[in-house]
A and B are shown apart, each in its own frame.
Chain A
Amino acid sequence: MMPDLGKYADAVLSSYVVSILLLVVLVVMSLRAAKKARAELQKLEDRRRG
């Protein structure tokens, strides 16, 4: 399954890991911010309607 990366395995693997990690962090943070902003607005609008 795993391709033979030869002597450069460290370089290839670490760049994939670092990049994917950064992308995942970015996506998770965006999703969490979206959720939070939506919940706050919802709460406020519910309160306004009474």
Chain B
Amino acid sequence: MASLWEYANPVKFIRTAETVLPWVSILATVTLVAGLVWGFFFTPDDYRQGSTVKIIYIHVPAALMAINVWFMMLVTSLVWLIRRHHVSALAAKAAAPVGAIMTVIALATGAIWGQPMWGTWWEWDPRLTSFLILFLFYLGYMALWEAIDNPDTAADLTAVLCIVGSVFAILSRYAVNFWNQGLHQGASLSLDKEENVADVFSTPLYISIAGFILLFIALVFLRTRTEIYKRRTKALLARERLG
């Protein structure tokens, strides 16, 4: 069986991306459209929240992705620092803007949802505040990648920033919790059935979450491939200039 580390080879990665990308893209589109259409057109209104409950099919998957993309960046950063696989570092770089957009979507839909439900666009609630801080971390991470010319230096520095940032992000989460108790409800999806949202709502929600995950995978494949092309172009140009 092929080892996972084989995909660290850029050429191999590109070949894999070529075969996988079309399928993942189609699957992502189908699931995402299915989840959102089901959620938007074919779910009943909630007896308390009215039709705003339909926002959940975007809000919850985006929020889940916002956190998990950062987690994926943390893992790939560690892989880069320990095993020096270039694809791993580039995958982290490729994922960051996707995570940032997911955070914005979670914040924006949250604000739009909060307006009718809580009577305010914004509340310094721990969950909202944590997401805002997470967004700042994404911004700093992307800015550091942009600022450094040497790709290996950039990969090293951003990887360390990602690890240190993760620790501080968790610290911030606790600090913010301590600082203000919030309006936001607890987790919408948990293994404990009692607290869970009802089945009519949860099935399209799971499909939508799957769609967001597939979309993320497709985007990371695509964007990592772009980064590999860019790296190769840069290397070729440098070689030409030398002679």
A19 contacts B51, C-beta separation under 8 Å: no
Question: Which of chain A's residues has its CB closest to B25's CB?
Answer: A27
In the assembled complex, the Cα of A12 lies from the Cα of B51 at a distance in Å of: 7
Which residues in B have their C-beta under 8 angstroms from that of A22? 101, 104-105, 108
Minimal beta-carbon separation of B46 from chain A (angstroms): 10
In the assembled complex, the Cα of A38 lies from the Cα of B226 at a distance in Å of: 7
B222 contacts A18, C-beta separation under 8 Å: no
Query: A7-B50, A12-B55, A37-B230 in contact; A18/B116 too (CB < 8 A)?
Result: no
Query: A15-B112, A37-B226 in contact; A6/B233 too (CB < 8 A)?
Result: no
Question: Which of chain B's residues has its CB closest to A7's CB?
Answer: B50
In the assembled complex, the Cα of A14 lies from the Cα of B55 at a distance in Å of: 10
The answer to whether B58 has its CB under 8 Å from any CB of chain A is: yes
B residues near A (Cβ < 8 Å) are 36, 40-41, 45, 50-52, 54-55, 58-59, 62, 97-98, 101, 104-105, 108-109, 112-113, 115-116, 215, 219, 222-223, 225-227, 229-230, 232-233, 236-237, 240
